Amino acid sequence: MEGAGARAAAWRIGLTGGIGSGKSTVAGLLAAHGAAIIDSDAIARRLTLPGGDAIPAIRAEFGPDVIDATGALDRDRMRALVFADPPVRRRLEAILHPLIGRDTERDAAAAPAPVKVFDVPLLVESTRWRARVDRVLVVDCSEDTQVQRVVQRAAWAEATVRAVIAQQASRGARLAAADAVIRNDGITLEALALQVDTLWAHWCPGLPSPRATV
């Protein structure tokens, strides 16, 4: 674990990492310390479910073919469109990002925990997010590890995983934006948890942690 100097508490932590980095696992470990996790991917899914706030604008922008029989966003079809025509991604983000920003703040305001972790895969790509958090935490691993994990977890083709990685911020860009880095390559879950424990003690001294009593 690498980090910046200690402070009384990092109340708003931006958590990011590439696909397959283990970011969700780190989020769970932070939640075990008592942090509230505000998951932007989960919010995006909520917005694109049947009746979700983003559905009318997505239908108007891309047509009914990207909406499935239930009224939800057809994520596989939209992913294929993004791969075939990269500007499609920017059009989709123009719809989703303002709504995600609105709902993340709503969810954060409703969370009673003093430390709020914003789980944002595209935090580095977005100029707005850095100003909305006190610290940026990056979960890092090699590209080969990312590919191996996603292929095993989601049964995607390797080429598909590498295409997603190519559309995300580079590993170097994420590391350059980090206030702390959790290394998650070739280690056990216990070793990963120890890095999170150390970071919590460094950034949030004096805050009660349920995990610390386990």
pLDDT at 6: 44
Sign of torsion over alpha carbons 6, 7, 8, 14: negative
pLDDT at 206: 76
To 10 degrees, what angle do helices 143-154 and 158-167 make? 130
122 vs 101: CA distance, rounded Å:
12
**pLDDT tens per residue, range 103-158:** 999 999 999 999 999 999 989 988 788 889 999 999 999 999 999 999 999 989 99
Q: For tokens 């610290």, what's the residue?
A: 135
**Mean pLDDT rounded to a whole number for the chain:** 91
7 or 62, which is more confident?
62
**Model-level pTM?**
0.89
What are φ and ψ of residue 118, in 5° steps? -95, 105
**pLDDT tens per residue, range 166-200:** 989 999 999 999 999 999 999 999 999 999 999 99
Question: Residue 114: what residue type?
Answer: P
108 vs 118: CA distance, rounded Å:
9
Instruction: Report all structural domains of the chain as residue ranges with CATH numbers, in order of start.
Output: 1-35+115-206 (3.40.50.300), 47-112 (no CATH)
Distances 132 to 105, 124, 136, 169, 190 between C-alpha atoms, Å: 10, 12, 10, 19, 31
175 contacts: CB under 8 Å, gap ≥ 6: 138, 140, 181
pLDDT tops 70 at residue 213? no
What are φ and ψ of residue 16, in 5° steps? -145, 170
pLDDT at 207: 77
Backbone region of residue 82 per phi and psi (left: phi > 0; alpha: psi in -120 to 50; beta: other values): alpha
